[in-house]
Amino acid sequence: MSHTEGRIGVPVFLETGQVFDELTHRRAEEIVGRYPVARSALLPLLHLVQSVEGCVSQPGIDFCAEQLDLTAAEVSAVATFYTMYKRRPCGEHLVSVCTNTLCAALGGDAIYSTLSAHLGVGHEETTGEPAEAGAPGTITLEHAECLAACDLAPVLQVDYEYFDEQTPDSALDLVLALQAGGSPTPTRGPALRNFRTAELEIAGIFPDADERVAGPSLAEPTVRGVRDAERTGQHAPPGDDVPIPPLPEK
Q: What is the CA radius of gyration of the chain?
A: 22
**Pairing between strand 161-163 and 125-126?**
unpaired
Site track 132-171 with another protein (rule: CB under 8 A), x = hit: -----------xxxxxxxxxxx---x-xxxx---------
Instruction: State which H helix or E strand residue 116 sits in.
Output: helix 108-119
Q: How far is the CB of 223 from another protein (least distance, A)?
A: 4
Query: If binding is defined by CB under 8 A, does position 26 make contact with another protein?
Result: no
Q: How far is the CB of 132 from another protein (least distance, A)?
A: 25
Sign of CA dihedral 47, 51, 52, 57: positive
Q: How far is the CB of 180 from another protein (least distance, A)?
A: 23
Distance CA 139, CA 133 (A): 9
The residue within the footprint of another protein, chosen from 17, 131, 181, 235 (CB under 8 A), is 235
Q: How far is the CB of 207 from another protein (least distance, A)?
A: 11
Q: Map 127-176 to HEC letters.
A: CCCHHHCCCCCCEEEEEECCCCCHHHCCCEEECCEEECCCCHHHHHHHHH
Query: If binding is defined by CB under 8 A, does position 7 make contact with another protein?
Result: yes
Distance CA 140, CA 157 (A): 12
Q: How far is the CB of 129 from another protein (least distance, A)?
A: 25
Contacts of 99 (CB under 8 A, 6+ apart): 108, 109, 112, 143, 144
Query: If binding is defined by CB under 8 A, does position 101 make contact with another protein?
Result: yes
The answer to whether 103 is annotated as binding is yes
Identify the three-state secondary structure at position 84: coil
Query: If binding is defined by CB under 8 A, does position 188 make contact with another protein?
Result: yes
Identify the three-state secondary structure at position 126: strand
Which part of the chain contacts another protein (CB under 8 A), choosing from 22-30, 92-100, 127-135, 173-181? 92-100
Query: If binding is defined by CB under 8 A, does position 29 make contact with another protein?
Result: no
User: Closer to another protein at the Cβ: 71 or 132?
Assistant: 71
Query: If binding is defined by CB under 8 A, does position 229 make contact with another protein?
Result: yes
Distance CA 58, CA 48 (A): 14
Residues 198-227 that bind another protein (CB under 8 A): 198, 201-204, 206, 209-210, 212-215, 217-227
The answer to whether 55 is annotated as binding is no
Distance CA 162, CA 231 (A): 28
User: Closer to another protein at the Cβ: 69 or 129?
Assistant: 69
Indicate the annotated binding residues: 98, 103, 146, 150
Indicate the annotated binding residues for [2Fe-2S] cluster: 98, 103, 146, 150
